[in-house]
């Protein structure tokens, strides 16, 4: 009978040893999960900030390029390197028409000239007239100033506002950039 009690005590001790091992393994898995979640949370917020910073930088760069004279200063569709819209501190109608034609004929080429990988859309608060037709804006096909903010497919969007002179009136140049 003494022997049975001894065997039962050994069995109880082995069960508690297995239970203790299970607890240690579960704790290690739990801690690993916490660490992975923590690292993901830190990196995720950094990526979002970097994406918005890049969008702001590209938007500012596009607006600076468009509010310059361009390269060469008297550029046309065949010799343009940088499509600036300004001459004598005002929006030049000929350059605006050239930019409209450039974007309409080869949107990807215009993105490369504006040194951006993101989509863009440009408009003035003053109505724009190209070849005696009123247009909403210049940029990605199928986009206009009313549907750009309502689109659910856009992940991040940035709006840059700059002031200039168009048709001898002060107006606002708006540049939307998104990914």
**Which pLDDT tens digit goes with each residue over 81-131?**
999 999 999 999 999 999 999 999 999 999 999 999 999 999 999 889 998
Residues in the chain: 179
Query: Is residue 64 one of the residues assigned to a domain?
Result: yes
Tokens 């970097």 label which residue?
50
Query: Is residue 25 one of the residues assigned to a domain?
Result: no
d(CA 111, CA 100): 13
d(CA 14, CA 119): 66
Residue 7 has pLDDT above 60, yes or no: no
Nearest to 65 by CA among 123, 115, 104: 115
pLDDT tens, 133-172?
999 999 998 888 888 877 767 778 999 999 999 999 999 9
Helices (H) and strands (E) in the chain, counts: 3, 8
Query: Is residue 23 one of the residues assigned to a domain?
Result: no
Q: How many domains does the chain have?
A: 1
71 near 81, Cβ under 8 Å? yes
Q: Which two tokens stand for residue 14?
A: 């082995």
Residue 8 has pLDDT above 70, yes or no: no
Q: Which two tokens stand for residue 75?
A: 């550029």
How much is the pTM?
A: 0.74
Structural domain of residue 66, as residue ranges?
57-178
Query: Is residue 15 one of the residues assigned to a domain?
Result: no
Query: Is residue 82 one of the residues assigned to a domain?
Result: yes
Residue 19 has pLDDT above 90, yes or no: no
Give the up-direction half-sphere exposure of residue 52: CA atoms within 13 A in the CB hemisphere: 8
């Amino acid at each position: 009978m003494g022997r049975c009690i001894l065997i039962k005590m050994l069995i109880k001790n082995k069960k508690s040893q297995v239970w203790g091992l299970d607890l240690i393994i579960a704790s290690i898995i739990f801690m690993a999960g916490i660490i992975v979640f923590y690292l993901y949370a830190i990196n995720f917020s950094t990526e979002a900030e970097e994406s918005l910073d890049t969008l702001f930088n590209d938007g500012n760069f596009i607006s600076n390029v468009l509010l310059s004279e361009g390269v060469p200063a008297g550029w046309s569709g065949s010799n343009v390197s940088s499509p600036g819209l300004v001459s004598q501190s005002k929006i030049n109608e000929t350059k605006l028409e050239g930019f409209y034609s450039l974007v309409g004929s080869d949107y990807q080429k215009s993105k490369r000239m504006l040194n951006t990988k993101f989509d863009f859309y440009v408009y003035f608060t003053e109505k724009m007239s190209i070849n005696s037709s009123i247009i909403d804006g210049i940029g990605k096909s199928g986009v206009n100033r009313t549907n750009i903010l309502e689109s659910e497919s856009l992940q991040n969007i940035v709006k840059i506002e700059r002031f200039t002179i168009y048709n001898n009136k002060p107006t606002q140049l708006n540049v939307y950039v998104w990914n």
